[in-house]
Structure 1
Amino acid sequence: MQTPLGKRTRTAARRFVSVAAIACALCTGAQAQSIASDVGASERINVAGQLSTLSQRIIASACNLNSGISVRESQAVLQVSADQFSVINDALLYGNARMGILGEETRSRTLQVIEELDNAWEPLLDEARATPVAGNDNARIQSLAEQSEPLLETANILVAEITGQYADPVALLHADALLIDLAGRQRMLAARMSKDICLIASGIAVDAAKADLAESSALFGDTLAALRNGMPSVGVRPPPSQKIEDGLQFVVEEWENIQPFLARAAAGETLNEAERQRVFFAFLGIEARMNNVVVSYDQNSKLGL
C-alpha cells in the first residue's frame, strides 16, 4: 500500500525548482538577461528557489541528529537552515539591500504564498529543533518528513509565482533558463537524497524512502550527465565556461564516489556510522558546489548584454 509520504515524494520529485534558484541565502548571484535590475528581481527569484532545498536539508540534519550521526555538524546545518529561511523570508517580504533585493513585496498572490510557506515552516522548524541528540525518536522524524513534502510543494509554487511576476519571458534566453533551472534543481535533489539515506538507515518509512531515492538518484544522474556533456536534442549546452566545467567535474567525481553507498542503502544493507557521515558530508559538498555552478550560469547569461 502506498503511503502518503510515498505519494508526495514521487509527486514533488517531478517538479522543477525555478529558473533562478541559488543555494546560499546570502549569495545574490548575477541577474539573468530577462530580468529588470531596479528592484533586485533576479535576486528575489534566486533566494526563493533556495527554500525548496531548505525543506529537504532540515529533515536530513534532524534525522542524522536523531541517530547521533555527526552531531555537531547536524546541529550546525539545522541552525544554518533555520537562519537562511528567516533571512530569505524577510528579504522577500521587506527587501534587503545587502542581498540586492530592493523594496517591499506588494503583490497579493505572492504575499499569500509567502505567508502559507511561513505558516508551514514554523511548526516544522520547532519540531526539528526539539530533536534530541541520539534520541531515536523515529516518530518525530517521520512526522517531519511528511511535513516537508507539502512545504516543498509550496516553496516551488512561490518560486513559480515570483518568476512569473518579475521575469520577462520574451527576453529570457531559453538555453540560459534551462541551464539555470536544471543546475538549481540539483541542490534540492542532493538534500532530498541525503534525507532519504538517513530515513532508510533509521528504519523510517523505508519503502517510500527507497522509492524516492531511486527516482531522485536517476533524475540527478541524468541531469548531471546532461549538464556536464550537453544534450543538444533537448537544448542543453555543454558548460559555457571553465569555472562551470570545473564545478560540475567536482560533482561528477563526488557523485561517482558515493554510488556504492547509495546502492547498498537501496538494497537494504546497513551503513555504519562512518559511512553515514561520509554520505551526509558528500551531499552537503555537492549542494554547495552546485550553488556556485548556478551562480556562474546566472553570471554567464549576462555576458551578451
Structure 2
Amino acid sequence: MHLFRLVFAFLCALGLALPALAQTRSAAEIAKLRMDIAGRQRLLSQRMTAAACFLTFDIDRERQLRILTESLDLFRVSLDQLESGAATMALPAVTTFSARIALHESRIIWGPYRNLATQIRDQAAAGDSGNIAQLDQLARLEPILLNSTQSVVSALSKAHQTQSGTRIAEIDLAGRQRMLSQAIVKESCLLTVAKTRKDSLASHLNQMRLKTEIFERTGYALRTGAVGDTPDPPPPDTFEALVQAHYAWSDLIYLLEPTRNGAALPELALFDVALVYEDLLPRLEDVVWTYVNG
C-alpha cells in the first residue's frame, strides 16, 4: 500500500495520471490537493539537498541518484501544476495574488538551484562525487528555496482556511512533518561534512535540535487533535497512520542519538540514517494522504 501511494503520487505529480482519474473536483478537494502539492515542495527542497550530500560521501549511490532525479522532476512539475493547473488532475491554476507572487519567487530561485543540483547529480552518476564546494553552494541556495515554498503554503493556507471540511491546518502540519524529518536527515549529513572540514558543528546541531523539537511537538498535536482552538481528534485511520509514523520516527531518532550529545555521525552511520528514513517517509505520506482524502 505504501508503494502504491508513492507511485500514484509520483505519477499524478508528473501529470501522468490516467485520464479516467480526472474529474470535477469540489472547492474543498482543490484546496486540500493544492496544500499537499505545495507542502511537498517544502519536503523536496530538503530531499534534494540531502541526496546531494549523501552523494558527496558516495552513500547509497544508486538510490540517492534516483531520489535526486525524481525530486528534481517532481519539484519542476509541481511548480507547473500550481502555476498553470493540471487538466489530468482536474486541478485549476492558483489565482490568489499572494500565492502567485510566492510561486514567482520560487520559480526565480528554482532555476539556479535546479542547475546546480543537476550538475551534482550528473557528476555523481559519472563517478565524480565528493565536490564539497558545489554542495556548499547548494546548501546556501536551499534555505531561500525553502522559504519561498513556505510562502506558497502560507498564502494557500490563508486563502483556503475558511473552506469547510478541509482540515487545512492539519494538512499544513502533516506536510511540515515531512519537511522537518527530511531536514533533520539533511542536517545530519551536513554535520558530518562540517566535521570532515573541521568547521564548527554548532549551527547544524542547533538546527537538528530545533527541528526535532518542532517535529515531536507537531506530531503530538496531530495525534491529540490539538491543532486549532477547539480539540478535534483525528479519525481512526488517520490516528493509526500517525502512530505508525511515530514508531518509524523512533527508529530514526535512535540512530541520531549521538548528535544530541554534540557528535557528528560517521559515514557508515549516515548510510543507516539514509536507509531508515526511506521507511519513515512513506508513513508520513500516509498521514498526509488520510487528511487530503478524508
Question: Paired residue for 1:20?
Answer: none
Q: Distance in 2 between matches of 1:107 and 1:269?
A: 45
Question: Paired residue for 1:118?
Answer: 107
Displacement after TM superposition at 1:69 (Å): 0.6
Question: Paired residue for 2:190?
Answer: 199
Displacement after TM superposition at 1:82 (Å): 0.6
Question: Paired residue for 1:190?
Answer: 181
Contact 1:52–1:155 under 8 Å retained in 2: yes
> 2:62 aligned with 1:87, yes or no?
no
1:86-142 CA-to-partner distances (Å, cap 9, x unmatched) read 11111122221222313x455554433222201101211211222243633222222
Q: Distance in 2 between matches of 1:60 and 1:238?
A: 34
Counterpart of 2:111 in structure 1: which amino acid?
E
Question: Paired residue for 2:223?
Answer: 228
* SS across alignment from 2:235: coil
Contact 1:55–1:148 under 8 Å retained in 2: yes
1:247-266 CA-to-partner distances (Å, cap 9, x unmatched) read 22222112212223222124
1:146 to 129, 140, 149: 140
Q: Distance in 1 between matches of 2:106 and 2:227?
A: 37
Displacement after TM superposition at 1:41 (Å): 3.9
Counterpart of 1:213 in structure 2: which amino acid?
M
Write out aligned runs for 1:58-97 (5 A). 58-97=48-87
CA-atom RMSD in angstroms:
2.8
Contact 2:55–2:65 under 8 Å retained in 1: yes
* SS across alignment from 1:164: helix
Uncovered stretches (5+) of structure 1, i.e. residues with no partner: 1-22, 29-34, 301-305
Contact 1:25–1:88 under 8 Å retained in 2: no
> 2:44 aligned with 1:49, yes or no?
no
TM-score (norm 2): 0.79
1:195-226 CA-to-partner distances (Å, cap 9, x unmatched) read 10100122276321110000001111122233
Q: Distance in 2 between matches of 1:130 and 1:237?
A: 46
1:36-73 CA-to-partner distances (Å, cap 9, x unmatched) read 169x3432232122111111111000000111111111
Q: Distance in 2 between matches of 1:268 and 1:121?
A: 33
> 2:212 aligned with 1:217, yes or no?
yes
Contact 1:186–1:287 under 8 Å retained in 2: no
Aligned-residue identity in percent = 26
TM-score (norm 1): 0.77
Mean alpha-carbon deviation: is it higher for 109-118 or for 226-235? 226-235
Contact 1:226–1:236 under 8 Å retained in 2: no
* SS across alignment from 1:61: helix
Contact 1:182–1:223 under 8 Å retained in 2: yes
Q: Distance in 1 between matches of 2:155 and 2:286?
A: 24
Contact 2:53–2:189 under 8 Å retained in 1: yes
Question: Paired residue for 1:247?
Answer: 241
Contact 1:186–1:220 under 8 Å retained in 2: yes
Q: Distance in 2 between matches of 1:45 and 1:253?
A: 25
Contact 1:186–1:290 under 8 Å retained in 2: yes
Write out aligned runs for 1:286-301 (5 A). 286-300=280-294
**Gap change, CA 1:130 and 1:206, over 3 Å in 2:** farther
Write out aligned runs for 1:162-181 (5 A). 162-165=156-159, 167=160, 169=162, 171-172=163-164, 176-181=167-172
Q: Distance in 2 between matches of 1:154 and 1:258?
A: 28
Displacement after TM superposition at 1:161 (Å): 2.3
Q: Distance in 2 between matches of 1:115 and 1:159?
A: 13
Q: Distance in 2 between matches of 1:275 and 1:238?
A: 37
